[in-house]
Structure 1
Amino acid sequence: MRLVRKSICLMGVLALMWCASIGLFSPIAVHAEPEPVTTHAKAAALIDVESGRLLYSTEGDKPMKIASLTKIMTAIVAIEHGKLSDKVKTSKRAAGKEGSSIYLKLNEEMSLHNMLYGLMLRSGNDAATAIAEHVGGSEEGFVHLMNEKARMLGLANSQFQNPHGLDAKGHYSSANDLAKLTAYALRNPIFKEIVKTKVKTAPNPNEEWDYKWKNKNKMLTMFEGADGVKTGFTKQAFRCLVSSATRGNQQLAVVTLNDGDDWVDHQKLLNWGFNHYPLEEVAHKGQPVNGYQLAIGRTFLYPFAKGEKEKLRSKMVLIPTGSTAYALGERGKVNWYIDDTEIGSAPVFEPKGARISLPEREAWSSGTTDRFLNKPWLLSFKSAMRAVLHTLFGGEEAAGW
């Protein structure tokens, strides 16, 4: 009779395993490519700001002239290297700079913070030059900082020769590089606040009235949720534009280079991105890792196309016990993948002083957590099966499941 009961239980176990294998406990993954979208641009890119995922790109890595989109790099370098309250003095070189201008006069002084508004809202080439000379010691010194920043951000198809974007030999970037740069810059709260400003007033030491700068970026009034970033034009670069917009908790940025219908194309690409790549939470800070005494160290969000989230898997990677990160509390990281492509990671920690056992560490090091972290139902199923097998056969057989 005992043997019969074991056989019946075993049949139940096999039935449960069969259900799992055919997917009755999980949704069937269906991946549908988003509908195609086109623009009038010679090159274009669309990026999700939070994750840095490029959602759309055409001729995205082609080096091209970028006109005043250069000033995105100028602004973020100045913010990171300068002091906003500093008074910037206008040199003869800055006051005489050709092209778009906020009409600074020789020896005029203005705070770096206000000058950045003049740079980004009115595209002042005089402001760009004055900022570069102040922050970098010289225009050439500042350009060196710009190129160093490009290198640090991995902008492989970008090189800068000046801080303003007037056409110059060897001065170029690409749509993809500018998208990555913009996503980086928009994570800086000072930059983000400046580029979304529609109108800015600033003290004018030369007149009885204040400066009043209206943002040239028409997207701020044309598209609901628009919040940046920069216009550009030269006779060689033609019309260039970077725009950004936020819908819910998601911010997207669009780049177009040499586009005669950019206002329309940007609205089209933003709507396309929001409709086909909604931002979703993969894990939140403090979330326990299923079945283990570890917690996620930061919230991770990602824009999934239809059918992609069902392909999500994860893998634990532990760090050496003697490392500095380990001494500071980190125990490793979780890497997330769609198929075989890594899409992001987050550190993991031991919550409330919990300690990892040696068997757990050995299991994680061998990669046995792969495929379980994002499938709670499968982890629960595994635990249940272990318990059933232990009841039926004892510890040795159960331990090998």
Structure 2
Amino acid sequence: MAASVPKGPPLSAQAAILIDGNTGQILYGRDIRGEFYPASITKIMTAYLAITHGWNRTVVVSEAAQNQIGSSAYLRAGEKLPMPRVVTAMMLVSGNDAAYAVARTVAGSVPAFVRLMNAQAAAWGAPGIHFDNPDGLPDPKHVVTALGMAIIARHAMENPTFAKIVATKESTLPPDPKPRVYYNQNLLLYQYPGAIGVKIGYTIEADETIVGAAKRHGLYLIEVLLHDTPSGLWPDAENLLTWGFQHFTTRTLVQNHARLGSLQVGGRHVSVAAAASLTYDVPNGQPVHPTVRLTALHPQDGKPITRGQKVGVASISLGSTEVGTVPVVATQRVASLPPVVHHDWTWLVLPMVVLFSLVSLSRTRAKGRRVHEGRWQHG
């Protein structure tokens, strides 16, 4: 039997998810595909696109950006600021003015930037995501799912620049006329040991939202809470992470380069080894007895198989549950198959056919003569 999952903690959030930040494995879920308003956790995608599409650009703050409603980084129309400073301000204090300015700078217009946002979400396979603005202000067409945001956060956190920004506790913008100092609103960074980001949000329509991440004891967790209550947000955020750390351990089911036996590849026995490691989070105290099923790739020809060549896939299961796959490679060179000899028997068969035809014809004529002679004698 696969390891049973312990009961999750009580939460106020209407939707919640906890995943392994390295593998994406889901450890806990509540209505993970339900659609909700995200509020400012939207800015996770905004920041990622700024880093990957316009990090070296200068942001010129427009009147429209300065006048954005909601939370503000207090940017001034006409200011010219480096993109990294604007993105940092946006992520720390959730400035809608900064998000609007970033979108215009990266894509030329907000609609064009929104298209980038949705295209990136689709490329990552994040379900139930439909962005309609770069800041998260409420809009009936601007909705997310807990699963979709967890996938987005996991990919964004793989970017070192993004990860550094969301772990920043304090940042300063140049004087205007005096320095603007920003403090990260994500309280997990101050009060939860191991916290490394990422973003909180709030609107009346969305209520409290958060994407949180933390690392402890070799375990890396990402959580998403949607439509939480003001009194429940921080207890929920801490309790869900703590539940994950207390109940799960990352186990290596297959080591990279581990010998996995042999399989038939194009009529040849090939010894194979794993070409990657596979880890899986299992409940503490549960025995782990993975089983391996090898599947060969279909060879195109009988050419030699080289050492290290991918020849198949290993499917790893715990009990009846398949938990992952790894590619397998040949551990040594295997010679090509001997050529198949096709004998041409035409030179022997054709004369025999001709001879048989002549004999048959001769017998038919002889029989005809005997019949004719017999009839003449009795006439």
**Does 2:307 correspond to 1:337?**
no
| Partner Cα separation in structure 1 for residue 335 and residue 241 of structure 2 | 48
Instruction: Give the RMSD, CA atoms, in angstroms.
Output: 2.5
| Partner Cα separation in structure 1 for residue 255 and residue 80 of structure 2 | 46
**Higher strand proportion, which one?**
2
| Partner Cα separation in structure 2 for residue 110 and residue 124 of structure 1 | 15
Residue aligned with 1:241, SS: strand
Q: Equivalent residue for 1:381? A: none
Residue aligned with 2:259, SS: coil
Q: Equivalent residue for 1:371? A: none
| Partner Cα separation in structure 2 for residue 80 and residue 167 of structure 1 | 26
Matches within 5 A, 1:151-170: 151-170=122-141
Residue aligned with 1:135, SS: helix
- Of 220, 224, 232, the match for 2:189: 220
| Partner Cα separation in structure 1 for residue 286 and residue 321 of structure 2 | 11
Asked if structure 2 preserves the Cα contact closer than 8 Å seen for 1:125 and 1:164, the reply is yes
Going from structure 1 to structure 2, the CA distance change for 1:144 and 1:30 (only over 3 Å counts) comes to closer
Q: CA-to-partner distance for each residue in 1:215-238, whole Å, 9 max, x for gaps?
A: 000011111101111110001111
Going from structure 1 to structure 2, the CA distance change for 1:356 and 1:90 (only over 3 Å counts) comes to farther
Asked if structure 1 preserves the Cα contact closer than 8 Å seen for 2:3 and 2:282, the reply is no
- Of 250, 271, 280, the match for 2:251: 280
Q: Which amino acid aligns with 1:302?
A: Y
Matches within 5 A, 1:363-382: none
Going from structure 1 to structure 2, the CA distance change for 1:298 and 1:201 (only over 3 Å counts) comes to farther
Moved more, 336-345 or 212-221: 336-345
| Partner Cα separation in structure 2 for residue 80 and residue 295 of structure 1 | 36
Asked if structure 2 preserves the Cα contact closer than 8 Å seen for 1:72 and 1:182, the reply is yes
Q: Which amino acid aligns with 1:284?
A: Q
Moved more, 296-305 or 216-225: 296-305
Q: Equivalent residue for 1:396? A: none
Residue aligned with 1:310, SS: coil
| Partner Cα separation in structure 2 for residue 357 and residue 143 of structure 1 | 55
Q: Equivalent residue for 2:372? A: none
Residue aligned with 2:100, SS: helix
Matches within 5 A, 1:1-400: 31-82=3-54, 84-202=55-173, 204=174, 206-209=176-179, 211-260=180-229, 261-290=232-261, 293-306=271-284, 310-322=288-300, 329-350=309-330, 354-356=332-334
Asked if structure 1 preserves the Cα contact closer than 8 Å seen for 2:2 and 2:318, the reply is no
Asked if structure 1 preserves the Cα contact closer than 8 Å seen for 2:127 and 2:147, the reply is no
Residue aligned with 1:57, SS: strand
Moved more, 282-291 or 146-155: 282-291
Q: Which amino acid aligns with 2:295?
A: V
| Partner Cα separation in structure 2 for residue 65 and residue 46 of structure 1 | 19
Q: Which amino acid aligns with 1:49?
A: G
5+ long unaligned stretches in structure 1: 1-28, 360-401
| Partner Cα separation in structure 2 for residue 185 and residue 309 of structure 1 | 34
Asked if structure 2 preserves the Cα contact closer than 8 Å seen for 1:31 and 1:306, the reply is no
**Higher helix proportion, which one?**
1
Asked if structure 2 preserves the Cα contact closer than 8 Å seen for 1:33 and 1:306, the reply is no
Residue aligned with 1:343, SS: strand
Q: Equivalent residue for 1:399? A: none
Asked if structure 2 preserves the Cα contact closer than 8 Å seen for 1:284 and 1:300, the reply is yes
Moved more, 116-125 or 312-321: 312-321
Residue aligned with 1:304, SS: strand
Asked if structure 2 preserves the Cα contact closer than 8 Å seen for 1:45 and 1:254, the reply is yes
Q: CA-to-partner distance for each residue in 1:351-371, whole Å, 9 max, x for gaps?
A: 5xx224689xxxxxxxxxxxx
Asked if structure 2 preserves the Cα contact closer than 8 Å seen for 1:231 and 1:240, the reply is yes
Going from structure 1 to structure 2, the CA distance change for 1:92 and 1:319 (only over 3 Å counts) comes to farther
Asked if structure 1 preserves the Cα contact closer than 8 Å seen for 2:2 and 2:321, the reply is no
Q: CA-to-partner distance for each residue in 1:232-287, whole Å, 9 max, x for gaps?
A: 00011111111111002211111111212111111111111112221122233333
5+ long unaligned stretches in structure 2: 263-269, 338-379
Asked if structure 2 preserves the Cα contact closer than 8 Å seen for 1:30 and 1:307, the reply is no
Going from structure 1 to structure 2, the CA distance change for 1:136 and 1:318 (only over 3 Å counts) comes to farther
Q: CA deviation at 1:173?
A: 0.5
Q: CA-to-partner distance for each residue in 1:71-129, whole Å, 9 max, x for gaps?
A: 112122222323x2221221222121111111111121222222221121111111111
Asked if structure 2 preserves the Cα contact closer than 8 Å seen for 1:293 and 1:355, the reply is no
Residue aligned with 2:313, SS: strand
Q: Which amino acid aligns with 2:73?
A: I
Q: Which amino acid aligns with 1:80?
A: T
Q: Which amino acid aligns with 2:42?
A: T
Q: CA deviation at 1:188?
A: 1.8
Asked if structure 2 preserves the Cα contact closer than 8 Å seen for 1:45 and 1:60, the reply is yes
| Partner Cα separation in structure 2 for residue 268 and residue 38 of structure 1 | 9
Q: Equivalent residue for 1:7? A: none
Q: CA deviation at 1:294?
A: 3.3
| Partner Cα separation in structure 2 for residue 245 and residue 349 of structure 1 | 35
